[in-house]
Amino acid sequence: MIANADGALERRDGVDMKNVKRTIRLGALGVAGILALGACSQGSADTDADEGDVTIRFAWWGNDERAEITNAAVDAFEAANPDITVETEFIDFNSYFDRLATATAGGDAPDVITMGGAYPREYGDRGALLDLAEVSQWLDLSVLDESALANGYFSETQYGVPTGANTFGAIINRDIFEEAGIALPDEESWTWDEFADLAVQLSDATDSDTYGAEDPTAADMLDAYLYQRTGQGLYTEDGTLAAPAEVITDWFTLTTQLRDTGGTPSASLTSELSTQTAPEQSLLGQGRAAIGFGWSNSIGALRDASGDDIVLARLPGDTGEHGSGMWLQASQLYTISSGTEHPEAAARLVDFLVGSTEAAEHIGTDRGIPSNPEIREFLAAEGLEENTQIEFDFIERVSGFVDGHFVIGPTGSTETALIVDRLNDQILFEQITPEQAGQQFVDEVTAAIS
């Protein structure tokens, strides 16, 4: 079975179907398709033990490199579990959740589903995910860090298993700082005003193709900025929006000034880059920005793509009165469909992926720093390459001062990132003012999560 020209699946004679990994092809409906889940959910899975040979499906988002290492881990699982065949499915992040919504609403969800962000709550609260307590005899969660497990626990139910820890922080290209003759920021004290000044200085001291900073606007960035300013991120524990319009206005005022002073790229370049999600496509990945913001597990890809000395640092403004705006978050979560016909096989696969050294040998830290201490020790003993060591060290340092705050976004909050991107484009192209954007953000996100 291979993909034809439009991505649909075809069977070709002579192919050994037992070992084929097939590429996801689920159609397109959009996040709105999840709304149908409440009506069409197949309910709780039959958690009796599987008997005989079974086939399950495992889906994730990513590129060909991730597919190669994941399929290698799956091959190891199949070798250890010859009664289980795993068909794997993957697609790029931008398309993944739209197509997953289509499949789930149609009763054709994969057995093991990779989740992230607010999606676990959206799917779990609508009955599309299995309560993992039902498969505890095959899935041992006691070996994982308790703080990491909290990422998959909501509505008094454990729905997800963290693949690894991750954090959102500042990303610094030390080579560009050295080229510009400008000292690195002191991450223990730098403020957002100092960041803005640095961005302008760096742009002025380098060639016209290099910028002091990438445009920093993103939903994750606003979450951290709000926590720094107010002591509360985007959402409250009871699922309401916690963002004051005036703080969102302050953020967009900052980014507008950065655009106007040349600290960040033009509106057209920022808008173009916003549609290119691969690390190597970013200004950081091209070695054309001195400062950016993103997730710690992107550091290896950025260093490899740029060839530059890129490191991780605390966010500006992170030592204010409300404490750190940074947090440890599951990079991704493995979940099991409530409609799976093979809960034992699905649970055994998840247990293998997060708890076996055989899987760790292939996956490593691709899905974050492992949440299983034994796996972390195994990887460290095996020896970490330089990029991974940088991430390991940063996660260890961050874990010493973050206060553990973590609120999973309520149902509808997956729209927030789209709202932020659209408003940011309108601001950058001077179609609306920061004040208008602040109020529109509050109004639109409130409507989305109501």
Task: Give the CATH fold of the 2-164+331-371 domain.
Answer: D-Maltodextrin-Binding Protein; domain 2 (3.40.190)
Determine the pLDDT at residue 430. 96
pLDDT at 42 over 60: no
**What is the rounded average pLDDT of the residues 275-282?**
85
Cα–Cα distances (Å) from 264 to 161, 247, 255, 256, 419, in that order, read 38, 21, 8, 9, 21
Please report the pLDDT score of residue 191 as a whole number.
96
**CATH hierarchy code of domain 166-328+403-449:** 3.40.190.10
Q: How far apart are CA 365 and CA 384, in angstroms?
A: 10
> In b/e form, how buried is each residue of 120-155, taking b as 16+ CB within 10 angstroms?
bbbbbbbbbbbbbebbeebbebeebbebbbbbbbbe
Tens of pLDDT, residue by residue over 106-140, are: 999 999 999 987 788 889 989 999 999 999 999 99
In this prediction, residue 62 carries a pLDDT of 93
Any idea where the domains of the chain sit in the sequence?
2-164+331-371, 166-328+403-449
Residue 43 pLDDT more than 60? Answer: no
Tokens of 8: 């649909």
C-alpha to C-alpha distance for 362 and 66, rounded to whole angstroms: 10
Task: Check residue 404 and give its pLDDT.
Answer: 59
Q: Do domains 2-164+331-371 and 166-328+403-449 have the same CATH topology?
A: yes
> Residue 4 is encoded by which pair of tokens?
């034809």
More confident residue, 48 or 157: 157
Q: Residue 40 pLDDT > 60, yes or no? A: no
Strand 289-295 relative to strand 165-173, pairing: antiparallel
Q: What confidence tens digit (pLDDT) does each residue in 229-277 have?
A: 999 999 987 889 999 999 999 999 999 999 999 999 999 999 999 888 7
Q: Which of 266, 263, 267, 307 is nearest to 285 (CA)?
A: 307
Window from 40-44, 60-64, 363-367, 445-449 with minimum mean pLDDT:
40-44
pLDDT at 378 over 60: yes
Average of pLDDT values for 408-423?
91
Residue range 307-353, pLDDT digits in tens: 999 999 999 999 888 888 888 888 899 999 999 999 999 999 999 99
Report pLDDT for 48.
Answer: 67
pLDDT at residue 218 is higher than 90: yes
Give the span between the Cα atoms of 115 and 92, in whole angstroms. Answer: 13
Contacts of 256 (CB under 8 A, 6+ apart): 427, 428, 434
For the question of whether the overall pTM of this predicted structure is more than 0.75, the answer is no
Q: What percent of the chain has pLDDT over 90?
A: 64
- The closest of 289, 320, 145 to 224, measured between CA atoms, is 320
The pLDDT tens digits of the residues spanning 131-187 come to: 999 999 999 999 887 777 878 888 889 999 999 888 899 999 999 999 999 999 999
Q: What gap in Å lies between CA 363 and CA 349, rounded to an integer?
A: 14
- Is 403 or 126 the better-scoring residue by pLDDT? 126
What integer pLDDT is reported at residue 11 of this predicted model?
22
